[in-house]
C-alpha cells in the first residue's frame, strides 16, 4: 500500500476525463507534484501540476518523460484510444494503433519508470483496463484491453521484487468525451478516481470501479460464450 500524501505522481492522459479526475484526486489527497500528460502541449495554473506533452506510441517521447520525472513514485497509465474496429473487417492500421496505444504504450511507460520507482522506494504502477477486457464483441478495443490486463498481471510478478505495487483497474462506461455518444449507465470520473486511489492506499492489486465490473468478474467462471457485449456508437 502506498499513501498518496507527499508523493510525486505521473498521470498519462491527465488533461481531461478520468485523467483530469485523477490529477484532482491526487492533489486533494496531498500529492506534492503531479506530472500530467497530453498529446499536445497545454498549461495548468496549479503550482503542483507539471504539464508534459507525451505520445505513448513514441519510445523517444516516453524516454523524455522518464528523464523529466525522475522523482516519480506513482505512475498512472490512463492514456488510451477507443477505436472499436472489427478484427476481421476493420482497418488494420487502426487495429495496430489501438494495440500500440492501449497495450504497448503502458508497457513502454512501465519499462521506463520501473527503475525510477525502484530507486524511489517501490511506489505504485496503476494501469487502466476495462470491463471489456473480459468480454467479446468490442473488436480491437476489447482485445487490446484483454492484452493490457495480461500485461499488468505479468508486470505485477516481475515488479514484486522491487516492492512496486501494481494495480489493474476495471470499469464500464465512464462519463467522459470518449463515450459521449454511447447510451447506458455511466459512472463519473471523480468516483472512479476515488476508487483507484482508495485501492492504491489500501494495497489492492485490482480495482473494480463499478457494479458492472464486479458482476462480469464474477461471471468469468461461467461459459465463455456468455461474456459478450456489442460495442457500437
DSSP lists the bridge partners of residue 170 as 208
DSSP SS3 for 168: strand
Give pLDDT tens digits for 86-127.
Answer: 999 999 999 999 999 999 999 999 999 999 999 999 999 999
pTM, 2 dp: 0.91
What sign has the CA pseudo-torsion 37, 42, 44, 49? positive
Question: Which domains are present in the chain?
Answer: 8-226 (3.40.50.720)
pLDDT grade for 230, boundaries at 50, 70 and 90: low
Q: Evaluate whether 13 touches 19 at the Cβ level (below 8 Å).
A: yes
Task: Find out whether 97 and 81 touch, Cβ atoms under 8 Å.
Answer: yes
Position 162 confidence tier, pLDDT thresholds 50, 70, 90: very high
Residue 232, H or E segment: none
Taking Cα atoms as reference points, which of 170, 176, 178 lies closest to residue 127?
170
- pLDDT tens per residue, range 172-204: 888 766 655 655 677 899 999 999 999 999 999
Distances (CA, A) of 167 to 106, 137, 160, 164: 13, 25, 12, 10
For residue 47 the three cell numbers come to 503550482
| Mean pLDDT value across the chain | 92
> If you search the block for the grid coordinates 467462471, which residue do you land on?
221
Question: pLDDT of 60-72, one tens digit each?
Answer: 999 999 999 999 9
- Dump strand ranges (E) for 82-230: 124-128, 165-170, 206-208
* Residue 44 pLDDT exceeds 80: yes
Amino acid at each position: 500500500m502506498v499513501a498518496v500524501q507527499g508523493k510525486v505522481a505521473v498521470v498519462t492522459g491527465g488533461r481531461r476525463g478520468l485523467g483530469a479526475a485523477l490529477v484532482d484526486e491526487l492533489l486533494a489527497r496531498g500529492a506534492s507534484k503531479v506530472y500530467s500528460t497530453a498529446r499536445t502541449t497545454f498549461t495548468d495554473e496549479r503550482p503542483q501540476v507539471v504539464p508534459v506533452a507525451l505520445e505513448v506510441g513514441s519510445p523517444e517521447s516516453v524516454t523524455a518523460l522518464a528523464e523529466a520525472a525522475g522523482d516519480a513514485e506513482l505512475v498512472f497509465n490512463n492514456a488510451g484510444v477507443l477505436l472499436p474496429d472489427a478484427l476481421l473487417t476493420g482497418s488494420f492500421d487502426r487495429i495496430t494503433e489501438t494495440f500500440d496505444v492501449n497495450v504497448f504504450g503502458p508497457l513502454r511507460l512501465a519499462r521506463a519508470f520501473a527503475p525510477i520507482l525502484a530507486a524511489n522506494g517501490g511506489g505504485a504502477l496503476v494501469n487502466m483496463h476495462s470491463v471489456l477486457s473480459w468480454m467479446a464483441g468490442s473488436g480491437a478495443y476489447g482485445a487490446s484491453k484483454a492484452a493490457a490486463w495480461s500485461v499488468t498481471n505479468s508486470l505485477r510478478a516481475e515488479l514484486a521484487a522491487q516492492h512496486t505495487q501494481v494495480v489493474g483497474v476495471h470499469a464500464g462506461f465512464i462519463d467522459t468525451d470518449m463515450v459521449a455518444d454511447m447510451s447506458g449507465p455511466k459512472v463519473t470520473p471523480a468516483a472512479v478516481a476515488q476508487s483507484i486511489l482508495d485501492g492504491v492506499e489500501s494495497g489492492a492489486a485490482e480495482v473494480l470501479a463499478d457494479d458492472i465490473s464486479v458482476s462480469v468478474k464474477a461471471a468469468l467462471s461461467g461459459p465463455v460464450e456468455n461474456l459478450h457485449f456489442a460495442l457500437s456508437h
